[in-house]
Amino acid sequence: MKFFIDTANLAEIREAHSLGLVDGVTTNPSLCSKVGVCDPEGFRRLICEICELVQGPVSAEVIATEAEAMAQEARNLAAIHRHVVIKIPMTAAGLKATRLLAAEGIKVNVTLIFQPVQALLAAKAGAAYVSPFIGRLDDINQRGMELVEQILTIYDNYGFDTEVIVASIRHPLHVLEAAMAGADVATIPYAVLMRLINHPLTDIGLAKFLADWQKNRPSP
Ligand code: E4P
């Protein structure tokens, strides 16, 4: 399973990358705004810097909502770097834009997927990736991981090569469940990624090893 990091924060991306845990990055307008980037030029610079750093797929989301405008914005974003993937929301206009862009060889990540047939439509439109938002479904008492399992079954039934990015991850168990389900990618917030590394028994075990080593050392 590939690990993407779900952030627009360069310091977080750098740190996770240095741990070898970043196969790609997903951003969205909220995440960019959180790091103070909400203008087109700043956004282009940020996306370019992230692409250079990770050398893997970096999702950049369009702001336009009409199909032609989305496609034009997407072409401009795709020209920033060969690793840019265009994030397009799951709407009728988004599907039209996805179809246009896929025909031009531009990779699209269809985002804001909340039911399995939306993912089927996105794959039929030529999406390279879909992003089911599991945490937001869990938040309203629907099992988000069930959506991922259904999408994987549908794609397997019909041989779609659209990759499933498990998004809106809230905690380490979501990552475990995504891996157990066989999802292609989990896009993980930095804080959750760090929590995957640690276990209290690892810390206790290490402290004991070091203490035992000290205990039986011959005195100088
Ligand atoms: C990633 O592609 C999504 O934009 C992100 O995971 C959404 O997460 P949230 O539901 O925590 O905002």
* Residue among 2, 87, 124, 208 flagged as catalytic: 87
* Mean pLDDT, all residues of the chain: 97
Instruction: Quote the pTM value.
Output: 0.96
Give the residue whose CA is nearest to atom 9 of ligand 1.
168
Distance 45 CA to ligand 1 centre (A): 22
What are the residue boundaries of the structural domains of the chain, listed by start? 2-216
CA distances (Å), origin 123, targets 45, 128, 186, 208 = 30, 7, 18, 52
The pLDDT value recorded for residue 216 is 82
Give the residue whose CA is nearest to atom 1 of ligand 1.
167
The pLDDT value recorded for residue 105 is 98
Give the residue whose CA is nearest to atom 10 of ligand 1.
168
**Ligand 1 atom with least separation from CA of 136:** 10
Q: Given a cut of 80, is residue 134 above it in pLDDT?
A: yes
List residues near ligand 1 (CB under 6 A).
6, 26, 28, 111, 131, 133, 135-136, 167-168, 187
**Ligand 1 atom with least separation from CA of 167:** 6
Please report, rounded to a whole number, the percentage of residues in the chain having pLDDT higher than 90.
98
Q: Given a cut of 90, is residue 150 above it in pLDDT?
A: yes
Distance (Å, rounded) from C-alpha 24 to C-alpha 50?
Answer: 9
Q: pLDDT tens digits, residue range 62-81?
A: 999 999 999 999 999 999 99
Q: Given a cut of 90, is residue 217 above it in pLDDT?
A: no
Smallest CA-to-CA distance from 130 within 73, 65, 170, 183 is with 183
87 is catalytic: yes
Q: pLDDT tens digits, residue range 169-212?
A: 999 999 999 999 999 999 999 999 999 999 999 999 999 999 99
CA distance between the termini of the chain? 50
- 5 pLDDT band (50/70/90 cuts)? very high
Pocket test for ligand 1, best of 168, 184, 187, 192 (most atoms within 8 A of CB): 168
CB atoms within 10 A of CB 178: 26
Domain 2-216 has CATH 3.20.20.70: yes
Q: Is 125 exposed, middle or buried (0-12, 13-18, 19+ CB in 10 A)?
A: buried
Q: Given a cut of 80, is residue 149 above it in pLDDT?
A: yes
- 53 pLDDT band (50/70/90 cuts)? very high
Distance 212 CA to ligand 1 centre (A): 45
Smallest CA-to-CA distance from 40 within 5, 83, 73, 84 is with 73
CB 164 within 8 A of CB 145: no
Distance 28 CA to ligand 1 centre (A): 8
Mean pLDDT of the 100-118 span: 98
- 34 pLDDT band (50/70/90 cuts)? very high
**Ligand 1 atom with least separation from CA of 135:** 10
Distance 133 CA to ligand 1 centre (A): 7
CA distances (Å), origin 142, targets 26, 111, 130, 137, 209 = 24, 18, 19, 5, 44
Distance (Å, rounded) from C-alpha 155 to C-alpha 101?
Answer: 21
Give the residue whose CA is nearest to atom 4 of ligand 1.
28
- 220 pLDDT band (50/70/90 cuts)? confident
Q: Given a cut of 80, is residue 157 above it in pLDDT?
A: yes
Q: Given a cut of 80, is residue 10 above it in pLDDT?
A: yes
Q: Given a cut of 90, is residue 219 above it in pLDDT?
A: no
